[in-house]
Structure 1
Amino acid sequence: MRRRAAEVIDAGETLHTAAAALLADHRRAVDAVREAWAPLHAELARSELRRIPVDRLTHVTEGRLRVAAIEAAGLDTVQRVLDAGRHGLRQIPGVGQQTADQALGAARQLAEAVGETVAVHLDVDHPQPRTTALVAALQLLVEAGPDARRAVEAATVLDTGLGPLLDDARPAAGRLRMWFAGGERRERALAALTGIGRQTERAAADGVPVLLGQASVDLLRGPADEAAAWVDFELRSAEYYGLLAELTERAGGGPDPAAAQGFLPDALAERVRAQALDGTHSRVSLRGYQSFGARFALAQRRVILGDEMGLGKTIQALAVLAHLAAQGRRHFLVVCPAGVLINWTREIEARSTLRAVALHGPGRHDAFADWRGGGGVAVTTFQALTGFPELAADELGMLVVDEAHHVKNPQAQRSLAVAAWAARCAYVLFLTGTPMENRVSEFRSLVRILQPEAASGIGDVDTVAGSRAFRKAVAPAYLRRNQRDVLAELPELQWTDEWEELSAADRDAYRAAVRAGNFMAMRRAAYAEPKRSAKLHRLCELVAEAAANGLKVVVFSAFREVLGVVGEALGPQQPGGRLFGPISGSVPPARRQRLIDGFGAAAGHAVLLAQIEAGGTGINLQAASVVILCEPQVKPTMEQQAVARAHRMGQVRAVRVHRLLATDGVDQRMLEVLERKARLFDAYARRSAVAEAAPEAVDVSDTSLARRIVEEEQARLGAAR
């Protein structure tokens, strides 16, 4: 008995020691990151405070503080007030103790607020010693990966659980100790011995000792090579920034918690936070807002995740699937456009331990039978979905629908198929960054598939009342976060409208299109005569400038004809075959992915041509730092989606967007009409404190917009047929 007790205690002590050592190693790695980050963050905050005029202190104190004497003494910014301190302020004539204390208190309030909003940016093109130190410190933890996170979680449980049990079990290791321990102490020792045995056996069965050992090795590696650290950062900057945000959130620089939770009602947000999330089958570390998104999908079961492009909706969906797999679910189905099917299978394999099965092409029915027997995550298209037999009600663990706005028309065949599958599944997740493009009724139709009771609450009263009531009504089924609220580290997005005067040839082509009443021809008329096209000339200049700086460019147009013209103009200028595309709806998914991969892998400058409906959704183009839009788009969300393919989590350079526009023609008319549509989208699909619009303001269809513009241009030019 004593020998058995000693063995149990030894095993417990060995495990406890390994857990404590890992926690210490992890703490040192985390401290190294925070120590490298703190001076960078402090300098950013100081720089911001140096730009804030001292009279802002009056606003902080609601007019109670008079700063005229302080400003007259040369302390014209908030940072100078902080630098002066109480003693320096008291030396200013007319500034007493109360005024000095008030000024300093107000300055500290502003400093705290600034510290919570500024974020450290890591400039890969201009590394400095301090930013290099931070990247190197982060690399150690990034390289350790999700397994280290799980090891730390397991070590924390063991450290807090085994420690007290080992203390209580000491007497059981020897006869004399037990003899002198007393009855109550002996009972506690025996109970502790049982507890230690259970914990060590469970840890062994779960592979925890090996997990702890590997994590310790990973965290004890030597300092990273600086150049290698920067290369690794550029390849997976999203992981670096995500980890940095997590480790420094308490010290400021993290996203606003309310924004990260999509401004949901407090009671709902609290319930979501309480939802467990098992990461056993996950291979990626989630950011705070991503973890909340996954928990929201689990807690609410049937929801729309409407995060803005670039925030990692796919990762959040995979986290949900991984959790359900850990709970024993075996079959999952992802429905998506054909163009992103390959991307989904890659993400599943790279970011989870789940099996990916593509249900696409001639062998899709054999693949369906294989998936039904072996389980995993099946990925199929909207079109193929209609040809598969539905699973039993309890057989499908979760249905995920990517780019779910494709099923907004309740009468369409794809919508009916998705609704039928969703009706037989407890967990359904719709992913879309554009839940409402033109009509609130379309958004209501998505919610109706998921939560009919919530859809019934989105009535005309809510719509007329405006966006606040609308968002409150859909909160149980809808979560949306915006880049600007949760990705403070995103590099700058520089948007330039390039207005060009039409050449004589352009004007002739445009007038001919107007006379014919051909809206689409009007939109592409600026490229009808390539050699004399003002827009094309400017596009070539922008590409040449990007080439001189070694930058990658994505060119978007709604028209394949325009992309053909651009390709012919650029082809001779692109050395080494660095012109990729065009990507269009007719390009098979596999070839589309090869084009995107080739574009991303090309060293230095390259150009990718893409039709905006095909290349603006569901793909990642963060290799690009220049985006050129050949013409304005009919839908206000189309351009946002396209730009977000480049300006997204993982981008490390500023993104420059150039929209080519022709003066005094269809481009200008479109912008005038679409400005109202864009404001309305913000009011309903984003958080908004203004814009209480009526439902009829949303109803501007593509057809009515085209007809209106054609008629206006025919009247203006006197070119009616």
Structure 2
Amino acid sequence: MVQRGRPQTRARRTAPRDRRRGRGNVNSVLARAVQEVEAALRSGRVTPATRMKFQAVALLLRDERARVQAEENSSDTHRAEQLKRLDGIATILAKSAVRDSGLLTLLTEDAVVSDEARALKRDLLRTAGIESGADEIPPVKPSAAATEHRAVPRSVISRQLANPFLAPDVSAARPSAPRPTRLASWELIGPLLSSFERAGSGGAACKALPAPTSRYTPRGLELMPHQARLVAAAAAGHRTFLLADEPGLGKTAQALLAAEAANAYPLLVVVPNVVKTNWAREAGMWTPHRSATVIHGNGDSIDGFADIVVVNYEVLDRHVGWLGDFGLRGMVVDEAHFIKNKSSQRSRHVLALSERIRSFTARPLLMALTGTPLINDIEDFRAIWQFLGWIDETKPLAELMNALDETGLTPADPGFYTAARQSVVDLGIVRRRKVDVAADIPARRIADLPVELDGPAGRSIRAAERELARRMVARYEEALAGRRSGAVVDGIDHDLVRQVARWEQKDATTSTTGENVFSMMRRIGRAKAGLAADYAAQLARSAGKVVFFAKHVDVMDVAEETFAEQGVRFSSIRGDQTPASRQRNIDAFVNDPDVAIAVCSLTAAGVGINLQVASDLVLAELSWTAAEQTQAIDRSHRIGQAQPVTAWRIIAAQTIDARIAELIDSKAGLAAQALDGSEEEVGASADVQHEALVALLTEALSAVPTHLAS
């Protein structure tokens, strides 16, 4: 009897293990099925059988994901590993489904599940060694918030329909509860804010950070030590940061690599419009294996499957609905002082998204980036702290309350304010100044800031550039046809291209009509003026005095109008001023602490004046030579300058402006000049103009299907 019983006992004991082994096989079965669906879609053979298999696989994926989440006798590590595998399979299926919009209708809430699809789902389970039963988990219904969309891009709808199994998991967030505390009856928000004024003198406003790590830095790039320390903190598990480094210390790279260290994807980045394009460029540089998408307007062109979503404050209201249901695991708010007014629409939307993320993501990465000094406008911290989940409208939340309780003090105790300030700093305030990390960064450097020229002005400039290219192509083809008896050249005749560019360059210096390289650059300068001025105003608020350089008077006029509208005081230094007036304006900028910006002519103010009171410059327009730019930068980078100098070069993306920037750099060795201070001019302005036209014509000719060279 005993011998007969032992095998039965073993069978009973091993049954759960066999069931787990079967469940493990589900991933393999699903992966094979998804590959078959993907192959059919790629080949264009979308048969009824393919549709049935797609629906069966999608249903099984959704059920399996819900089952793993509900598993009580599984460790968190095992559960996370299973979910990661399922999500990878689901993403492949979802991206394949976008090829055929008819497949997406099979995943809507009211979609009819055919008997054949149910039968195939059971067959897939049996293949994995599992008998399906009545305990199957019902499909997850979309959240109520999904119906509150203001605008939903088509690709996002595709993602939502194709990924019901990737819906936000509200049960994952388990916020810690505050312990019973002596401070429960105290009003604490006011004392916490006051602690930064009363205990701030001489106190470091920077959380202790671990040793630098280079683990997440892409090959070929290098983080500065102060940047790598913050990334190391994220890798060690810290998840909320008020990153208040001064401008020029690389907050963008730190935020992107912190998200990589925290695996905080999908990641939402909310930014001012002027830096939106730059964030996408930086994401491509620092996290090249992550896809990034930028929301313009209603978001018709975005990638709904991207890892990083960049949106500017101005259009956030249109997208706050679907972003709340996107399953975000991280959020970065750049220039976070933009949300200081909690009654403003932008602040309400940012805070609502933050709260939504914290409701379904356990310990999300939340980062507020601002260079504004911490001891100014202390009340502005309220919105930022609330975004980070440190406080709510009336009181500290659990983590901060518990830290305050551990001090053993109350606001009535003399030592409370110092201890309270440190408790807030330890939650994630990171503040470094240029002077503090001067050894990490070059004494003088140029940082390019690409901007998108939207609206009628941008469209007009791009159309004019195409017209200029068409005119040169016609001139090239006319010259080519006129010498058919000459030498035969395969493909593009580059000698003739350079000749046509010289003709065009000569005409541009004598003709007063038609579009040419000079008028193009002036139009681009006017189109950039408002964006460049807006960025200069942001710098002035964050870092102190700023020098704004432009070539043309009308660009300076637009900038000064922008500063006046924003209430930013400025001095104007132009070529048409008398020496006495010019010196008064220089003195006002240097000596008056309320004069934040010097608006300077690149030619008139590029030499002979000392503006070392500023360590940040904005180059709103490109010069034709690197030497001219270097001399402008040297107005601040000179004897008496105590901080590293950063020149922010505003470049119109996808226009001839970007080509000219590359040409200046390549001809003059701009990177070397920024390090060693050499002012040697390599190449003249005419060389850059000529090469820009050569590049424009060559690109246009390359786009033409054929060129007859005989």
Q: Normalization by structure 1: what TM-score?
A: 0.34
Query: Per residue, is there more helix in 1 or in 2?
Result: 1
The TM-score normalised by the length of structure 2 is 0.34
